[in-house]
Amino acid sequence: MLPEHIDVPLPEWPDEPLGPQHIRCRSIAPILQRIGDKWSILIVMMLARGPRRFNELKRLVEGISQRMLTLNLRGLEREGLVSRRIFPTIPPKVEYALTELGESLCVHVTGLGQWAEASFDAIQAARDAFDARNGEDDMLPFGGDRA
């Protein structure tokens, strides 16, 4: 790779290591971990279409276990992105919906999804070229996700 390929100027990017003055950067890491994980993004995308019941979400988010769905919904609720409404019926009906904050995240999640869709062929070509040069590496993250 040529130096000009990686020497990209970043405005206002700190040259020094992050210190105590950048404590806010460290404090948002857990938020980015929560909203950036695979299941949370899919759950937010499904709730963007409107309120859903638990089992409906479980069917829509392919491959998620009941435990993972429960943990992710609770985490999203804790972050203020999802609301949980219990209806006084027998058995109790529980419905999940995006909050106003969750809806504001949805704009960005949708943009990320659109980018991934538009970039899919280019990313697949890059993977194929990398694998042809280096052989497939089981140690790479997301290595076995052939479409």
pLDDT at 32: 80
Whether the per-residue pLDDT at 147 is higher than 70: the answer is no
| DSSP letter, residue 34 | H
Q: Which pairs from 131-137 meet CB under 8 Å and 24+ separation? A: none
Query: pLDDT for 20-79, tens place per residue?
Result: 556 667 778 788 888 888 899 999 989 999 999 999 999 999 999 999 999 999 999 999
Percent of the chain with pLDDT over 90: 46
Whether the per-residue pLDDT at 13 is higher than 60: the answer is no
Distance CA 147, CA 130 (A): 16
pLDDT at 10: 54
The model's pTM = 0.69
Please, are residues 52 and 60 in contact by the beta-carbon 8 Å criterion? Answer: yes
Name the CA dihedral angle for 65, 67, 68, 74, rounded to a multiple of 10 degrees: 140
Could you tell me the two tokens for 65?
Answer: 């276990």
